[in-house]
Structure 1
Amino acid sequence: MSVREHAVFVKRYTIPEKIDDASRVFCFNDGLLLINKDDPDNSLPSFLEVSRLNGNLSEWHYLGEQDGAPSCCVGVDEGVEVPESFEFRDLRSLYSFLGIELWRLAGYARQVVDWGINFRYCGRCGRETSFMNVERAKVCDHCGLVSYPRISPAMIVAVISDGKILLARGRRFRGPYYSVLAGFVEPAESLEECVTREVREEVGIEIENIRYFHSQSWPFPDSLMIAFFADYRSGELTIDPVEIIDAGWFSPDNLPKIPPVGSIARKMIDEFKSIYSRRHRISD
């Protein structure tokens, strides 16, 4: 079956006694995914192919099955030699190549691999941890501390004023584009409080009418993006130079370079364009 075909993926947590050689594997090297660049319909290596790599592998994780076809994930050291038809690629660049369902599963796999590497030892007593069979968790056999994959909640917000959207260019962006504002949730902070605080800190304005839009797992490395729209209330744009290079208000027909398809930021900007371009046509 082509990996692009849609089928329900059933998550599993117990590693089988024997993994079939044909099982597909999400193999990561420092966050980069190993793919078969010559065959988009069978883009992932098999368990047998990964097992033959000349490099040190991290512990294996069993992810589950899709139409009975099992999937695993593993990490491999830098510098490993791979067959000529394979290469390691940044997962961000593979959205179209893999298709949305496989891309999401690859994101899940990346987070699991990172968690396995980072939580090999107990954070309380330093002893080695072992897998739990009933859930995606590790337990310390010495002190009993249970560790789960790390998930970092972050808000992302599109602020609207008079038919224009607030976009900013952040210093940590991976490309020369403008996007909506985002930031991580602080301890004891509600999502709405986080939205208000981040907007105030980054661009110096006040907002109102905060409303939920969508959410998206963003495995770079472990964010859960919770998206909102909000309306401008008061204040002048005053950017935080530590975080922001530039910010401004943009109309639907005069947008700067924006994030690529696949990110929730792009989905929000496209939603803004759809709504406010339509309103502009109606008003004309």
Structure 2
Amino acid sequence: GYSFRTLWSFLGRAEQTAFYLLGRARQIVEWHNNHQFCGQCGQPTHSTDFDRSRQCAPCKQMFYPRLSPSIIVLVTRGEELLLARNAHARGDFYSTLAGFIEPGESIEEAVHREVFEEVGIRIKNLKYFNSQSWPFPNSLMLGFHAEYESGEFVLQESEIADAQWFHHTNLPSKPAMVSISGWLINDYVERLQGKV
């Protein structure tokens, strides 16, 4: 028989292309469900024929799918990687640091702020790596590598359950390779091992 599954249940199990298609579909369906009515006048909205948008007929307000720009960063110190366990994450794995970009903030400012807020350290030599659309929730993840500059761990306990420096040959359980966090970790380890 058939059963309903969450998108999370496909993470690391489905082929990458299938996971991305499922994520995209989920974002579009949620957007349609959450924008049935106009936020300006309260009247029903309808899908348009000319692009992916919804429109309110009475006030002509247009609504487009929501994307939340977010940063994700792997901080390194020589052969060590800074990985953290999120206080709200599913499973017992360690990942890179991440967070949403705030209004009026540049991408680079967001990376520095998030690292300092979450673990209390300063970083340097920020380098853009790659991006990924991520459906948890509606994020456009902008990935970076950065180097440790100074400071000791002071964890933002509402967000981070644990953070540690891990040698690249002794990493904890980490994110699936379908995620940009997994890509960041893999890229750095392969460069250290001379595979790239």
Shorter chain as denominator, the TM-score bin is: over 0.9
Query: Counterparts in 2 of 1:6-155, with a 5 A limit?
Result: 84=1, 86-95=2-11, 98-155=14-71
Change (3 A) 1:178 1:98: closer
Could you tell me how far apart the structure 1 residues matched to 2:156 and 2:21 are? Answer: 36
Contact 1:215-1:227 at 8 Å conserved across structures = yes
* AA of the residue aligned to 1:181: L
Q: Residue 95 of structure 1: CA displacement? A: 4.9
- Per the TM alignment, residue 205 of structure 1 is displaced from its structure 2 partner at its CA by 0.7
Q: Match of 2:24, SS?
A: helix
User: Shift in Å at residue 216 of structure 1?
Assistant: 0.8
Q: CA RMSD in A?
A: 1.4
| CA deviation profile, 1:53-101 (whole Å, cap 9, x unmatched) | xxxxxxxxxxxxxxxxxxxxxxxxxxxxxxx2x2212223325654222
Q: Distance in 2 between matches of 1:95 and 1:181?
A: 19
2-side partners of 1:211 and 1:256: how far apart? 24
| 2:120 is the counterpart of 1:204 | yes
Instruction: Identify unmatched segments of 5+ residues in structure 2.
Output: none
Q: CA deviation at 1:103?
A: 1.9
CA distance in 2, matches of 1:278, 1:90: 38
The alpha-carbon distance between structure 1 residues 98 and 163, as it changes in their structure 2 partners (threshold 3 A), is: closer
Runs (5+) with no aligned partner, structure 1: 1-83, 280-284
CA distance in 1, matches of 2:64, 2:172: 40
C-alpha distance in 1 between matches for 2:12 and 2:92: 21
TM (normalized to structure 2)?
0.95
More relative contact order, 1 or 2 (CA 8 Å, 6+ apart): 2
- Aligned with 1:255 (options 144, 160, 171): 171
Does the residue aligned with 1:228 lie in a helix, a strand or coil?
strand
How many residues matched? 195
Q: Give yes or no for contact 1:252–1:277 (8 Å, CA) kept in 2.
A: no
C-alpha separation in 2, matches of 1:264 and 1:232: 20
Structure number with bigger Rg: 1
Sequence identity of aligned pairs in percent? 45
In structure 1, the residue corresponding to 2:129 is in which secondary structure?
A: strand
CA positional deviation for 1:190: 0.8
- d(CA) in 1 for partners of 2:11, 2:174: 16
Question: Which of 223, 227, 235 pairs up with 2:151?
Answer: 235
C-alpha separation between the residues in 2 aligned to 1:96 and 1:169? Answer: 18
SS at match of 1:227: strand
- 2:182 pairs with 1:275: no
One-letter amino acid of the structure 1 residue matched with residue 182 of structure 2:
R
For 1:268, give the aligned amino acid: L
Secondary structure of the corresponding residue to residue 52 of structure 2 = coil
Partner residue in 1 for 2:108: 192
The separation in 1 between residues aligned to 2:54 and 2:91, in whole angstroms, is: 36
